[in-house]
């Protein structure tokens, strides 16, 4: 039987072996943590604490004022010592709350719900929303928004994304083999919430043990575990839906709910289970610290707000020849100029790369129109035209080539023999023009 | 390790942070390597003069590129390998006996005028090697159509001349008072049909250096297909169209001299002339052909149709070169017309 997949895509070396075997361990909790008030796509939170105030672990420190937003919580107990602008992984300054850890880990009172599968949908949604859960694959879209489809959209399929198609990263993989039942419970909660019968977990076939473990955990439920071909970007929402259901999310701003689907990441499902079952807000996540540039690659459970420098130190520090540290995976992650910034809800990986493994900005040549990018593009765009038009400043004309259908997976740029920064040209054009 | 020091050494660049190892120059040098068997066959059959012609082409091509780069204050571009490849392709398109000024001027026209003056690699409209060849063919028609007879041996002193198989089919041979044309003329020259095919497959025929051995060019072409440096779309549609149209229109009744439908010999047309070289190495030149697959099929069909038209009805026995150059004009139009349809659009459009 052929494996589920989509058309296009690329096959970068997966390099999962570097941190694949490292079981989840808790990272040391630092003396001081910095909680950015904007860790998600959407409106930033406004601080609900003041300098000098005592806070407990799990206490809300920033509240969501808009529909597309998610509250943030303190990941330690202690005292607020500063509220101000601090850098995030994308290099932007964002308002953040600095908390001095008292080392006690005193939880706020948590509302447990042992009978979570019999709760009312609205109560489940409220718990997910209060827990500040966002898409943990890296996109950080507030989970509660995805779970509130407008009435006219019928959702019939829920998909958990265990593809983890970004090379190097193993965060979802470790969750699947170490906590398979939590993943399943998370999915069951979501299915209950949306009243959906079809539950799928898509996993790339380079993770046979995860396929096994999840298959076993799903036994006795209606959930199906789908073996997907190893191909980047298999874990992109639209590609995963196509591979599993055969449906195509409409172009020009279409959403998964337009084809009756909701997709969540494995980490998100576990966070949802913890939030609904135990009332725990999202204050901790799995971070894959990997790459040849770090001495001991590890998969750590890290409290949100821990400095990346501290996390790297617990993995033996950077090697001498480490030249680049990326927040996230190598295809869509952000290179960081400094390690002095906090782990957030979206930090799926800290990828430390050595010379030869990666490069800085390269010289690039003119497009020779070889068409490799066209073959690689999972959205069937013509990236070469986008890059040529954008380079020449014809931003409006880029729309004739479906500029806004690009989700910036980077496949075109990966294959380009002229080493053109095609994705960057696309981003430039997007910033200079408006959809429509 | 001093963390403060390390911090300032971190590279910051845009994603993606990993890249495929394929480069433009890697592709160009690989394509050049894929042409070596054909060049070897040319040297084997026509002697060292064939090698000299090719080497002069390559040297003149690279010199022309450097000259234009120097005149226009651009940085050197020889390392991308495309100048070398153009020189090599031009060499394979010339008769082995061509006097040295022909490869030199041909290479200059190919590189300086056709490629560099249009903006260099990636910006030229026409296939440089073919424009170079078209220029010298029209300027020196006699020298460009004097074909040495293939004869095994490297020290050929007194070359005898012959016609190419396509020339034989078109011009015909005189047999007891009247002229016979088409495949029968080939049979007359080579003995049997299969002898004619064999000669064309392995290159024991008159012609340009690179149009001699169909099988060695095919090997190079299949290598490029296997490396995925080219796709099947253009070679298959090009060669397929030539085969079908040659079969339909290529038959000739030697009694009346009239065309008879569905009696042509497709294999003779496919194996002869510059078709293999053209279909695998010239009509697949990234810069001057469409990059969308559907457009490539149209491009190949157009090339094939024009080739057969010129071969059967035109003034030249061979039409591959002009066919590709004419189709090059349509490349931007084809790419625009057959723009890809994005993921998710087709269904939506069907619903409306």
Tens of pLDDT, residues A194-250: 999 999 999 999 999 999 999 999 999 999 999 999 999 999 999 999 999 999 999
Q: Which residues contact A380 (CB under 8 A, 6 or more apart)?
A: A7, A8, A374, B340, B341, B342, B343
Q: Are residues A423 and A389 in the same domain?
A: yes
State how beta strands B252-253 and B258-259 pair: antiparallel
Is the bond leading into A214 cis (omega within 30 degrees of zero)?
no
Q: Are residues A65 and A205 in the same domain?
A: no
Which member of A10, A317, A400 has the closest CB to residue B1? A317
pLDDT confidence band for B44 (50 / 70 / 90) = confident
Distance between B215 CA and the closest CA of chain A, angstroms: 26
* Residue ending a domain, choose from A263, A278, A293: A278
What pLDDT score does B252 carry?
87
Which member of B121, B231, B344 has the closest CB to residue A254? B344
* Residue ending a domain, choose from A324, A354, A384: A354
Q: Which residues contact B21 (CB under 8 A, 6 or more apart)?
A: none
What pLDDT score does B151 carry?
62
**Chain A residue with the nearest C-alpha to that of B79:** A365
Q: Which residue of B2, B15, B295 is the best one to mutate when testing the A interface, meaning the one whose CB has the most A CBs within 10 A?
A: B15
Tens of pLDDT, residues B233-277: 999 999 999 999 999 999 888 888 888 899 899 999 999 888 999
Please report, for the domain that includes residue A152, its CATH number.
3.40.50.11540
Separation CA B160–CA B164 (nearest Å): 13
- Greatest mean pLDDT among A404-408, B173-177, B182-186: A404-408
Q: Are residues A160 and A291 in the same domain?
A: no
Q: Which domain holds residue A326?
A: 29-110+281-354
Would residue A2 count as lying in a domain?
Answer: no
Q: Which residues of A touch B123 (CB under 8 A)?
A: 366
Separation CA A417–CA B44 (nearest Å): 35
Q: Do B65 and B78 touch, CB atoms closer than 8 A?
A: yes
What pLDDT score does B159 carry?
54
Q: Which residues contact B274 (CB under 8 A, 6 or more apart)?
A: B93, B208, B210, B211, B282, B318, B320, B321
Tens of pLDDT, residues B223-238: 999 999 999 999 999 9
What pLDDT score does A435 carry?
85
Q: Are residues A334 and A376 in the same domain?
A: no
Distance between A251 CA and the closest CA of chain B, angstroms: 5
pLDDT confidence band for B346 (50 / 70 / 90) = low
Q: Are residues A121 and A245 in the same domain?
A: yes
Would residue A243 count as lying in a domain?
Answer: yes
Separation CA A430–CA B208 (nearest Å): 51
Q: Which residues of B touch A401 (CB under 8 A)?
A: 339
Interface residues on B facing A, Cβ-Cβ cutoff 8 A: 1, 3, 6-7, 9-20, 22-24, 26-27, 80, 119-123, 231, 286-287, 291-293, 335, 339-348
Q: Which residues of B touch A363 (CB under 8 A)?
A: none
Q: Which residues of B touch A337 (CB under 8 A)?
A: 7, 10, 12
What pLDDT score does B352 carry?
43
Which member of B17, B27, B80 has the closest CB to residue A326? B17
- Residue B350 scores a pLDDT above 70: no
Q: Which residues contact A402 (CB under 8 A, 6 or more apart)?
A: A251, A252, A379, A381, B342, B345
Would residue A96 count as lying in a domain?
Answer: yes
Distance between A149 CA and the closest CA of chain B, angstroms: 20
Tens of pLDDT, residues B115-149: 999 999 999 999 999 999 999 999 999 888 888 77
What number of CA atoms fall less than 13 Å from residue B23's CA on the CB side? 12
Separation CA A322–CA A421 (nearest Å): 23
Q: Are residues A198 and A272 in the same domain?
A: yes
Would residue A36 count as lying in a domain?
Answer: yes
- What's the average model confidence in pLDDT over B37-41? 90
What pLDDT score does B161 carry?
74
Helices A180-194 and A208-217 cross at an angle (nearest 10°) of: 60
Which residues of chain A register pLDDT less than 70?
1
List strands edge to edge, sheet with A261-265: A224-228, A198-204, A157-162, A261-265
* Residue ending a domain, choose from A307, A328, A354: A354
Q: Are residues A95 and A126 in the same domain?
A: no
Count of structural domains within chain A: 3
Which member of A12, A370, A423 has the closest CB to residue B14? A423
């Amino acid at each position: 039987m052929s494996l589920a997949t989509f058309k296009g895509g690329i096959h970068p070396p997966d390099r999962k072996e570097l941190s694949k075997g490292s079981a989840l361990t808790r990272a040391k909790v630092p003396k001081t943590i910095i909680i950015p008030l904007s860790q998600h796509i959407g409106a930033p939170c406004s601080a609900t604490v003041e300098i000098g105030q005592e806070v407990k672990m799990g206490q809300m420190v920033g509240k969501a004022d808009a529909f597309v937003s998610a509250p943030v919580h303190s990941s330690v107990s202690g005292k607020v010592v500063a509220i101000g602008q601090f850098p995030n992984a994308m290099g932007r300054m964002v308002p953040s709350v600095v908390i001095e850890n008292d080392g006690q880990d005193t939880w706020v009172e948590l509302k447990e719900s042992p009978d979570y599968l019999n709760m009312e949908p609205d109560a489940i949604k409220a718990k997910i929303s209060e827990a500040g859960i966002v898409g943990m694959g890296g996109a950080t879209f507030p989970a509660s928004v995805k779970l509130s489809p407008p009435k006219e959209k019928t959702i019939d399929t829920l998909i958990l994304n265990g593809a983890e198609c970004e090379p190097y990263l193993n965060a979802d993989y470790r969750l699947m083999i170490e906590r398979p039942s939590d993943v399943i419970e998370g999915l069951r909660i979501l299915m209950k919430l949306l009243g959906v019968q079809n539950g799928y977990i898509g996993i790339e076939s380079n993770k046979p043990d995860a396929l096994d473990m999840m298959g076993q955990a799903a036994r006795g439920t209606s959930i199906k575990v789908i073996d997907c071909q190893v191909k980047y970007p298999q874990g992109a929402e639209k590609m995963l839906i196509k591979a599993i259901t055969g449906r195509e999310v409409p172009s020009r701003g279409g959403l998964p709910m337009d084809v009756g689907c909701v997709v969540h990441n494995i980490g998100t499902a576990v966070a949802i289970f913890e939030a609904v079952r135990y009332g725990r807000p999202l204050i901790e996540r799995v971070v894959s610290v990997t790459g040849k540039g770090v001495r001991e690659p590890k998969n750590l459970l890290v409290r949100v707000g821990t400095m990346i420098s501290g996390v790297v130190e617990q993995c033996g520090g950077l090697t001498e020849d480490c030249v680049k540290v990326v927040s996230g995976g190598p295809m869509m992650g952000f290179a960081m100029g400094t390690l002095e910034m906090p782990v957030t809800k979206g930090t799926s990986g800290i990828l430390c790369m050595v010379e030869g493994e990666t490069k800085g900005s390269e010289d690039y040549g003119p497009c020779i129109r070889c068409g490799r990018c066209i073959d690689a593009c999972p959205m069937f765009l013509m990236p070469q035209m986008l890059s040529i038009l954008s380079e020449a400043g014809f931003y409006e004309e880029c729309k004739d080539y479906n500029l806004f259908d690009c989700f910036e997976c980077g496949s075109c740029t990966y294959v380009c023999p002229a080493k053109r920064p095609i994705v960057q040209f696309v981003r430039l054009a997007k910033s200079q023009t408006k959809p429509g | 390790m001093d963390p403060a020091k390390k911090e300032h050494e971190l590279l910051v660049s845009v994603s993606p942070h990993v890249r495929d190892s394929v480069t433009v120059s890697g592709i160009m040098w690989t394509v050049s390597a894929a042409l070596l068997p054909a060049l070897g066959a040319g040297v084997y059959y026509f002697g060292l003069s064939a090698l000299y012609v090719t080497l002069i082409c390559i040297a003149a091509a690279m010199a022309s590129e450097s000259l234009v780069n120097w005149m226009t204050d651009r940085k050197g571009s020889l390392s991308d390998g495309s100048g070398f490849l153009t020189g090599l392709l031009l060499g394979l398109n010339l008769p082995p006996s061509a006097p040295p000024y022909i490869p030199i001027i041909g290479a200059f026209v190919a590189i300086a005028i056709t490629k560099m003056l249009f903006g260099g690699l990636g910006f030229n409209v026409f296939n440089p090697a073919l424009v170079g060849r078209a220029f010298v063919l029209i300027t020196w028609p006699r020298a460009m159509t004097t074909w040495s007879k293939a004869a095994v041996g490297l020290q050929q002193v007194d070359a005898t001349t012959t016609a190419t198989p396509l020339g034989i089919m078109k011009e015909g041979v005189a047999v007891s008072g009247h002229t016979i044309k088409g495949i029968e003329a080939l049979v007359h020259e080579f003995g049997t049909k299969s002898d004619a095919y064999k000669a064309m497959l392995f290159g024991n025929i008159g012609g340009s250096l690179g149009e001699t051995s169909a099988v060695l060019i095919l090997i190079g072409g299949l290598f490029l297909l296997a490396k995925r440096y080219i796709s099947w779309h253009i070679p298959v549609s090009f060669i397929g169209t030539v085969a079908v149209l040659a079969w339909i229109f290529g038959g000739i009744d030697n009694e009346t001299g009239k065309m008879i439908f569905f009696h042509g010999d497709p294999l003779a047309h496919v194996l002869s002339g510059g078709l293999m070289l053209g279909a695998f190495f010239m009509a697949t030149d990234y810069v001057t052909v469409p990059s969308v697959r559907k457009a490539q099929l149209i491009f190949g069909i157009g090339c094939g149709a024009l080739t057969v038209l010129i071969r059967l009805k035109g003034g030249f026995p061979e039409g591959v070169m002009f066919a590709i150059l004419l189709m090059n004009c349509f490349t931007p139009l084809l790419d625009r017309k057959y723009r890809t349809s994005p993921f998710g659009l087709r269904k939506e459009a069907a619903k409306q």
